Amino acid sequence: MAGNFLAADVNLPDLSRYDTTEQKLEVIQNYLFLLLENLRYALRNIGPENLNEAEMEEWLNDLGLDIEADTIISKTLITDELYSDFGSIADLIVNQLKTDYKRVTNYKLGITSEINYIYIHDEQIEFWTDTVKSGTPTEQYHWGERYFWWRDAEHKTMTSEHGDTGFGQVTVYQYDSKLKGAFRFKEYTYTEDAGGNPLDPPQVTKIPELVLGAGYGRTAEGHEDDGKAFIRKERNSFNMYMIGSTQKENGMFISDEYTDIVGLRRTVGLNFSGWDSGYFRETVEGLSQLYSYAVNFTAGVPTSIVYDDGVTLNITW
């Protein structure tokens, strides 16, 4: 048996010196206890200064995980690039997350169909659709200023930390990206309070906002949101609206005192030339169609109007 704590991992117990099964089991039990304590001590004190990165990567590959680990500290896996096709990852802390890994696999398989992915950063969750550019041009895969190279001849793992590895660049198609929806907390500056009084200094706050649709695809300054719909909880109101082609905000605006609906069609013409014949016509804003309404009379006095869908409006004199 190991004579001290640190020797437990190199000296096996000599069971030949013991006669009974009970004695041998006690020796094995004591040895396993020392091994357990030794393992606990090692795990509590592992750090970058005593980590064998090559052995760790080989162990991860044996588990079926395709992972590049730059630093492992205690229970936290800190990486610059993390890829896992099989297996699970728990308690992962990152500064941003992007699920567009299909850029790489699609190029390897020659797939040029669009890809859809999620991009999470800061206080935003964004939903994107990328379409391969006309002519299928290619580029080196990169994230910002970080460019990637293959780490092996089989093109299974990649890196951006070690530069050109000799196994070639990670190549992908070039894409046109379109933001089709997002949930975010957007920063706004208020110069007046709820009563219209000036705020000095202005109040800066973040409000939750849901963005729906890709819009009209305009890129001119101030027109990027044309055609998009918004659901927004502002400081003193709850708003649902769409920005039209003329940048008019049509929708519903609710505060604790009122509800406004902006953009409703208005009546711009009434034709009573057929009144005596029992009908009149209405012209609605933005529509060329004329709506006809039947008029019912009692003793020469109109007593009801019937809409074209059969609903009756009663008139009491």
Q: Which residue has the higher pLDDT, 121 or 90?
A: 121
CB-CB neighbours of 76 under 10 Å: 10
- My answer on whether 276 and 310 are in the same domain is yes
Q: What band does 174 get if pLDDT is binned at 50, 70 and 90? A: very high
- Consecutive H or E run containing 192: strand 175-192
Residue 293 confidence (pLDDT) above 50 = yes
Q: Which residue has the higher pLDDT, 154 or 86?
A: 154
Is residue 76 situated within a structural domain? Answer: yes
- My answer on whether 272 and 285 are in the same domain is yes
Look up the pTM and report it.
Answer: 0.63
Number of domains in the chain: 3
In sequence order, what are the residues at sequence separation of 6 or more whose Cβ sits closer than 8 angstroms to the Cβ of residue 12?
31
Question: How many Å apart are CA 281 and CA 307, to the nearest integer?
Answer: 11
Is residue 58 situated within a structural domain? Answer: yes
Q: Which domain holds residue 281?
A: 267-314
Q: Closest Cα partner for 123 from 206, 188, 179?
A: 206
Q: pLDDT of 202-258, one tens digit each?
A: 988 899 999 999 999 888 888 999 999 999 998 888 999 999 988 899 999 999 889
Is residue 304 situated within a structural domain? Answer: yes
Q: Mean pLDDT in the chain?
A: 82
Is residue 86 situated within a structural domain? Answer: yes
The C-alpha angle with vertex 148 and arms to 145 and 151, in degrees rounded to 5, equals: 155
3-state secondary structure 299-313: CCEEEEEECCCCCEE
Is residue 153 situated within a structural domain? Answer: no
Q: What value does the mean pLDDT take over residues 283-310?
A: 90
Where are the extended beta strands (E) located within 198-289? 198-212, 229-233, 237-243, 249-255, 259-262, 267-271, 279-284
Q: Which residue has the higher pLDDT, 54 or 226?
A: 226
Q: Closest Cα partner for 74 from 98, 48, 53?
A: 48
Tokens 């010196």 correspond to 17
Residue 290 confidence (pLDDT) above 60 = yes
Is residue 187 situated within a structural domain? Answer: no
Residue 178 confidence (pLDDT) above 50 = yes
Is residue 82 situated within a structural domain? Answer: yes
What is the predicted pLDDT for the residue at 61? Answer: 61
What distances in angstroms separate CA 311 from CA 228, 293, 294, 304, 308, one per listed residue?
A: 35, 10, 11, 10, 7
Is residue 147 situated within a structural domain? Answer: no
Residue 315 confidence (pLDDT) above 90 = yes
